[in-house]
Structure 1
Amino acid sequence: MDKGRRGKDLRIGDPERERAMTLLGEHFTAGRLEVHEYDERCRLAAAARFASEVDALFEDLPAPHPEDPAVPAPARTPRPSAEAQRIGGRVVLLVCAAAMVVLLVVIAKQFALPLLVPLLAVFWFSSRR
């Protein structure tokens, strides 16, 4: 492990690395970094595993820094419940079955009944689960 890290240093992921590189780009655009400094710091940010490694890249730069609370963490969207997924699956199956019925009636008029029976059986058994 790195001995230069502070206390309980947390590991970072790709979003944190990308944010650091974006902020380095802002400092480069503002003229605070030269091309070779920007390139080196971006390379180090891309390889960083811990927050302290990213923080070290901004020690001699004014704000913004990656740890600034001005940018909130992205919110996670809640996953639908198992019941909602099951209902959604039934709706999709019902829509597909209705489309198949219309297609069979319009295109294969004389073959519609023999083809509809297996389709209805599949729908019936899948809705019974």
Structure 2
Amino acid sequence: MCGNCFTSEIYEFHTYFDFEEFDKILGQKIEQNYLVSIWDSTNQYSYNDLVKSNVPYADNIYKCNACNETWALSTPENARRGYFLPVDEASDLETELAKRDKKTSRGCIAIIIVIVIILIAAIVN
């Protein structure tokens, strides 16, 4: 991280307005050639797919021309609030979010099973 790219991480965009403000700053840094897009979801540049596979929700990956930090951008959509993080941190965050999603889905399945059992018990009686 450096002054040419960004000096702090964004773990989530709290509102879409926050993302739009960030996107303006990001656009300026790209125009000034501080950051270069090395992968995006619509026009895949020659970038290591292994790195991209570690951040599956990233829409763009940028590299700072000054410090060589590689950044992953995930735009906010629905429940996922997006992020702008160095690729390693983005990978860790996505791993954590995947674990959380699994726990949530297990809880939903358990609730559905309980409801089905209650319905069956009500029908049998």
| Same structural fold, with TM-score higher than 0.5 when normalized by the shorter chain | no
Structure (1 or 2) with the greater strand fraction: 2
Larger-Rg structure = 1
Structure (1 or 2) with the greater helix fraction: 1
TM-score between the two structures when normalised by the length of structure 2: 0.29
